[in-house]
Structure 1
Amino acid sequence: MRRLFELPPEHLGAARSWLEHGERTPRMPRLASSVVLVRDSPRGVETYLGYRSGNSPLGAVAFPGGSVEAADDDAVTWYGPPAAKWAAALGLTDHRQARLHVVAAIRELFEETGVLLAGPDESSLVEGPAGEEWMAAREAVADQEKGFGEILGRRGLGLRTDLLKPLSNWISPDFAHRRFDTRYFAAAQPVTQQPALLGSKGAWASWVCARDVLAERDTTALGDLVGQEDTRGLNLSQLTSPAVEIILEKLAAARGTIAYLSHKRPVVKYHPELVLVDGTPMLEVVANFAAEDAAAQRSR
């Protein structure tokens, strides 16, 4: 289960400094959430990837996601499993932290794609949250001018937390200047909603077939398609984080979105470590199955 991954070029300097000057106390990781949006296609399961600027710990090309914010603790109507059950599913003892991760996941998905996992009741989903009014709401939430709970409350909507599925937990490597403790979730693309870039910040995003991306993982196809200065000429490992690659591998192996989302999986914890391979810094990833077993026991 030992895997080695290349580092993005912009992370090599920090990695070499960490190795050359000895290990130091790593920065405290920020809590974060990310959502793997999936749908079926004739070529296999597709997912929605977007470009992230600024040396994001989630990768230059990644799933929608970002930091947990203080406003994620605001009151909001909640449909689906209670926070206690979410904590058990995520392998957490802190119910509040579990709630924060779930709220942040749905909020970040809304901010970055416009897909809103919320509805007026526990069995309905808002239809077509598009147009100028909804884009203005996304911008207001992204700029922290308005709280996500306020946006939902004014429209009589509650979070459909039952539409999220927990996937895995990734902690950024110790050498990184910006570190995240990220919970990855999955959700099916709602049939009445379509993702769209955030007007003020979006640069590139697209549906991609996981199998196709992996078939070209050693080429620069994806980086050239994104077309940004820091993506052109890079292969998949240089564009993304190990979390994205491993999740893409699981998507490519799935028989469809229903099979992927219905598969019962305890949350595995990953904490990539920096290693030297023939003088080159690389990330070593080993699945923490002790965490997996503990989560499985708590969810029973």
Structure 2
Amino acid sequence: MRSAGKRLFPLNADQQEAAQTWVDFGQRTPSKPRQASSVVLLKDSPGGLRTFLTYRPGGSPLGTVAFPGGTIEAADDDVTDWVGPSPTMWAKSLGTQDIGLAKRHVVAAIRELFEETGILLAGPDSSALVENITGPEWMRARESIATQETTFASLLERYGLALRTDLLTPLSHWTSPDFAHRRFDTRYFAAARPVNQEPSLLTSKGVWGRWASAADILADRAKTALGDEIGQPTTTGLTLGELVVPGVEIILEKIAAARGCIAYLNHKRPINEYRPKLVGDSESRFSLEVLTAPVSEGAPCRER
């Protein structure tokens, strides 16, 4: 078990440049972060717990390789059919007094998961999940929501579905460092892959995504195998620490330490808020300092 304390995460070349500019110009007021949600999708396998990772182009604050996710949208307020903890209860779980914001984070998490992977945590009632959501019709629905031609709320209404918010588990709260050009205030959630649903990439945007063993990814963290496999100019020749943000790397460590999906989802954990701090050394190299909680996700837990 890795103990709690401070950890340093090296910055890649682009981040080093942004950090140096930030320092050179007197550490001005940081840009306001955009609210975002991300979902750690999980499934058990003979080789250990697996999670679905995707490639994200364009210097996303979530990382070049990350869990499915994205920013909150105004239309997330339109979703009203809801199963599971109330928005008030979610606000308490997420450690915020803003009930509306808590609701938007939950809706955005389920919407982004559907857009990017086709996994839909919704059903006609509190005991069922939608099935048979593959094929051209559902891909068109995902594309339409991704381009904001239609809303997630209208899709749920059309099929008579309610969000199964009871299938989400809150994990952690991360804010991008002050020097970053694009900043996210991200809530991470976890969910088990529903039976009879399998992730697929969005036709118009998907480049790479697959189920990955967290233990295997971490075992090769100093190698470039993952970046080379993705094969993009922004990934080839890069190690894990250069592909993912610290929040993703720490979550992968906790997944690798878990005994299984049920144990991980039921593990009693505080919703830690992480605000990485920029630190430098005598040679003007910068790193992110992160106060971390212990990695202890392996204890057996009761099923819900």
User: SS of the residue aligned with 2:218?
Assistant: helix
Percent identical residues? 61
- Is residue 5–residue 284 contact of structure 1 (8 Å, CA) maintained in 2? yes
C-alpha separation in 1, matches of 2:108 and 2:118: 14
- Counterpart of 2:270, as a letter, is P
Could you say which residue in structure 1 is the equivalent of 2:299?
Answer: none
Could you say which residue in structure 2 is the equivalent of 1:283?
Answer: 288
1:223 counterpart = 2:214:
no
Deviation at 1:226, TM superposition (A): 1.1
C-alpha separation in 1, matches of 2:152 and 2:103: 14
Could you say which residue in structure 1 is the equivalent of 2:49?
Answer: 45
- Is residue 114–residue 138 contact of structure 1 (8 Å, CA) maintained in 2? yes
After TM superposition, the structure 1 = structure 2 runs for residues 229-268 of structure 1, keeping only pairs within 5 Å, are 229-268=233-272
User: SS of the residue aligned with 1:96?
Assistant: helix
Could you say which residue in structure 1 is the equivalent of 2:302?
Answer: none
User: SS of the residue aligned with 1:2?
Assistant: strand
Deviation at 1:288, TM superposition (A): 8.3
After TM superposition, the structure 1 = structure 2 runs for residues 133-172 of structure 1, keeping only pairs within 5 Å, are 133-172=137-176
User: SS of the residue aligned with 2:241?
Assistant: helix
More moved, 67-76 vs 175-184: 67-76
Deviation at 1:280, TM superposition (A): 1.3
C-alpha separation in 2, matches of 1:6 and 1:187: 30
TM-score using structure 1 length: 0.94
- Is residue 79–residue 107 contact of structure 2 (8 Å, CA) maintained in 1? no
Could you say which residue in structure 2 is the equivalent of 1:197?
Answer: 201
After TM superposition, the structure 1 = structure 2 runs for residues 1-300 of structure 1, keeping only pairs within 5 Å, are 1-277=5-281, 278-287=283-292
TM-score using structure 2 length: 0.93
- Is residue 10–residue 55 contact of structure 1 (8 Å, CA) maintained in 2? no
> What are the Cα deviations for residues 265-300 of structure 1, in whole angstroms up to 9, with x where unaligned?
1200001111113431111111489xxxxxxxxxxx
- Is residue 11–residue 288 contact of structure 2 (8 Å, CA) maintained in 1? yes
C-alpha separation in 1, matches of 2:253 and 2:293: 18
Judging changes above 3 Å, is the alpha-carbon distance between structure 1 residues 118 and 84 closer, same or farther for their aligned structure 2 residues?
Answer: same
- Counterpart of 1:280, as a letter, is R
Deviation at 1:8, TM superposition (A): 2.9
C-alpha separation in 1, matches of 2:230 and 2:23: 32
C-alpha separation in 1, matches of 2:12 and 2:124: 43
- Is residue 49–residue 61 contact of structure 1 (8 Å, CA) maintained in 2? yes
Question: Between Structure 1 and Structure 2, how many residues are aligned?
Answer: 289
C-alpha separation in 1, matches of 2:51 and 2:122: 20
- Is residue 7–residue 292 contact of structure 2 (8 Å, CA) maintained in 1? no
C-alpha separation in 1, matches of 2:15 and 2:132: 39
More moved, 41-50 vs 9-18: 9-18
- Counterpart of 1:145, as a letter, is E
Deviation at 1:20, TM superposition (A): 2.2
User: Structure 1: which 4+ aligned runs deviate by more than 4 Å?
Assistant: none
C-alpha separation in 1, matches of 2:14 and 2:68: 21
User: SS of the residue aligned with 1:200?
Assistant: coil
C-alpha separation in 1, matches of 2:293 and 2:66: 22
Judging changes above 3 Å, is the alpha-carbon distance between structure 1 residues 91 and 81 closer, same or farther for their aligned structure 2 residues?
Answer: same
Structure 1 residues without counterparts, runs of 5 or longer: 290-300
Deviation at 1:243, TM superposition (A): 0.4
C-alpha separation in 2, matches of 1:179 and 1:288: 23
More moved, 20-29 vs 167-176: 20-29
Deviation at 1:74, TM superposition (A): 0.6
User: SS of the residue aligned with 1:248?
Assistant: helix
C-alpha separation in 2, matches of 1:216 and 1:182: 26
